[in-house]
């Protein structure tokens, strides 16, 4: 019954009551609860957001990896094409060199070789840097050019 009487009195007559603190305490308690609920909601939302961001980031990374791989495959194919074209050019160059050699061999005569040898000897004799001496020892004064361990043509 004393309890009832204590509660039935207006707040200003109760023991330990300070004027104006009752409403403020209720307000701050409400603000604290709302703040706590907001912090919990934001924490849960950010955890879900991190998971979703991570999933979308993984998707984006995988998509980028596929794009990079496609680009690398295209670059490799282009390099293969370039190498094939270079090989074709080298084959064409070799065919041209062979045709030129065939033409030269068809028109090459011993007199032409003698003429070229004499011209080379004259150029060498007139050069200030010559250190080689040609001794005419072959047919028609042309130096013999062959390995020393082989026999001359016509001998056994």
User: pLDDT digits over 46-56, tens only?
Assistant: 776 666 667 77
Where residue 10 falls (left for φ over 0; alpha for ψ -120 to 50; beta otherwise) is beta
Would you say 11 and 22 are in contact if contact means Cβ atoms under 8 Å apart? yes
Specify if 11 maps to a domain.
yes
Highest mean pLDDT among 39-43, 83-87, 126-130: 83-87
68 assigned to some structural domain:
yes
If one counts every other C-beta atom within 10 angstroms of the C-beta of residue 22, the result is 13
Total count of domains within the chain: 1
The reply to whether 52 falls in a domain is: yes
Domain hosting 49: range is: 2-79
pLDDT in tens, 4-45: 555 555 555 555 555 555 566 677 788 888 898 888 888 877
Mean pLDDT across 80-106: 93
The residue with greater pLDDT, 146 or 41, is: 41
The answer to whether residue 95 sits within a structural domain is: no
- pTM across the whole model: 0.39
**Domain assignment of residue 6, yes or no:** yes
* Residue at 128 is within a domain: no
**Which percentage of the chain shows pLDDT scores above 70?**
63
What pLDDT, on the 0 to 100 scale, is given for residue 121? Answer: 77
pLDDT reported for residue 148? 52
In this prediction, residue 86 has a pLDDT band, given cuts at 50, 70 and 90, of very high
pLDDT category, 140, cuts 50, 70, 90? low
> Which range has the top average pLDDT, 29-33, 98-102, 112-116?
98-102
Q: Is residue 7 part of a domain?
A: yes
pLDDT at 119 over 80: yes
């Amino acid at each position: 019954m004393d309890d009832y009487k204590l509660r039935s009195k207006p707040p200003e007559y109760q023991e330990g009551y300070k004027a104006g603190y009752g409403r403020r305490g209720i307000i701050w308690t409400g603000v604290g609860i709302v703040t706590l609920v907001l912090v919990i909601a934001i924490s849960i939302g950010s955890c879900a957001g991190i998971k979703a961001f991570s999933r979308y980031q993984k998707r984006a990374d995988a998509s980028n990896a596929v794009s990079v791989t496609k680009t690398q495959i295209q670059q490799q194919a282009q390099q293969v094409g370039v190498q094939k074209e270079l090989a074709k050019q080298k084959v064409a160059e070799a065919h041209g060199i062979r045709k030129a050699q065939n033409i030269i061999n068809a028109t090459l005569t011993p007199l032409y070789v003698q003429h070229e040898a004499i011209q080379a000897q004259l150029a060498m004799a007139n050069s200030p840097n010559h250190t080689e001496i040609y001794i005419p020892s072959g047919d028609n004064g042309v130096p013999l050019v062959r390995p020393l361990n082989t026999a001359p043509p016509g001998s056994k």
